[in-house]
Amino acid sequence: MYFHIILTERCNSQCRYCYEKSEREFGEKLNEKFKFDFSAPENSEVDVKELRKFILKDKEPKIIFYGGEPLVNRGKIVEIMDAIPEAKYYMQTNGKLLHELPSEYMNRFSKILISIDGDKERTDFNRGKGTYDLVLKNLDLIRKNGFVGEVVARMTISFSDGFTDLLKQVKHLFEIRFDSVHWQLDMGFYESDYDKKQVEDFIKKYNEEVSKLVEFWIENMKQGKVLKIYPFLGLFDSLYHNTKTKLRCGSGYANYTITTNGKIVTCPIMNCIKDFEVGDIKKSNPNELKEISVIEPCPSCSYFELCGGRCLYSNHAKLWPEEGEMQICSTIKYFIEEMKKAMPKITELIKQGLIHEDDFSYEKYFGPEIIP
Ligand code: SF4
Ligand code: SF4
């Protein structure tokens, strides 16, 4: 089981699509949809002995440090890693404070996901001037100090910022030596940002970019290289092995979140929402946590067995009007169809021995959402 641990609500960045939009959204209709409980402290007050007792009831505990920015609360990272050496560790970070964590701890992470949106212009536009250079400097430093785990670029693509050059940005992230890439479309997470025409224009260009990226992926395969582009790996896995999927991020059944006061919710984004609370580390058993699943329209959708429902939060919150939700789904359907079209070419390359099916294997549920 995977557990996100929210170490702090604080963040040392004020990104356009997170901080700015959250500020605007506060006080709107979300209160009518869900019951909130804002009593959790800003920094994690979870007792590590209790946490250890809870986590070790799971046979293969996996801990993902999360925030705010988890490295703002480095003391708790050290405390938890000292107390629970048996767990496998991951972190979702903005990368700005990576140099502050002693390498004896840094080097124990299996994978880290760094929020970066592409080249310097794009990343600094979204995440603040100087972010790109600082992140790359820190990345070089941790690698020099012996970090050998996977470094995943975690991109956010916003329909509202006018950029749609997915191919260029993904290529760039591989060029600057990220091991893998995934992206999430910033669509359907805030009620106040929906603009039908803007979304329509974005989708047209975005879909074209998805097609170009699939082509680029296959071109690399012809050279014997399968790039770790997580959304593609996830879809390939289901199509090649002809399997059905549940919600691909694992939230609510394979992946839960421990809040700063030890409550258990389905995903970090549901942090303060009582409707998604399923337990408490003091009383619950990780093997008996309640499952929360996606609701209609997903289970009746003809793409459900390949899509899985995109996002548990967005599926329950339904923050955009129905036509907006359908626009989001149109990107997923397009993406799935493009992957279906690519499968015969990929299968042929596997048959020719240029690549092997094992090159596509990937770890599920540690962070990349798969369906953007
Ligand atoms: S395509 Fe849309 S409606 Fe269909 S399963 Fe995915 S998120 Fe749900
Ligand atoms: S895709 Fe999954 S992990 Fe991401 S916000 Fe939605 S429910 Fe949470």
CATH architecture group of domain 2-359? Alpha-Beta Barrel (3.20)
User: Would the CB of 176 count as within 6 Å of ligand 1?
Assistant: no
304 lines ligand 1 (CB under 6 A): yes
Ligand nearest to the CA of 329: 1
Query: What confidence tier does 21 reach under pLDDT thresholds 50, 70, 90?
Result: low
In sequence order, the 6+-apart residues with CB closer than 8 A to the CB of 283 are none
The answer to whether the CB of 310 is under 6 A from ligand 1 is yes
Q: Is the pTM of this model over 0.85?
A: yes
The domain segmentation of the chain, as residue ranges, is 2-359
Report residue 23's pLDDT band, with 50, 70 and 90 as the boundaries: low
The percentage of residues in the chain with a pLDDT greater than 70, rounded to a whole number, is 97
- For position 17, what pLDDT does the model report? 64
Query: Which protein residues touch ligand 2 with a CB less than 6 Å away?
Result: 249, 251, 267, 269, 311-313, 369
pLDDT band at 22 (very low <50, low <70, confident <90, very high): low
Ligand 2 centre and the CA of 184: distance in Å?
Answer: 10
* Residue 144 CB coordination number (10 Å): 9
pLDDT tens by residue, 128-162: 999 999 999 999 999 999 999 999 999 999 888 77
pLDDT at 61: 97
Angle at Cα 186 formed by Cα 363 and Cα 324, nearest 5°? 120
- The pLDDT of residue 19 is above 60: no
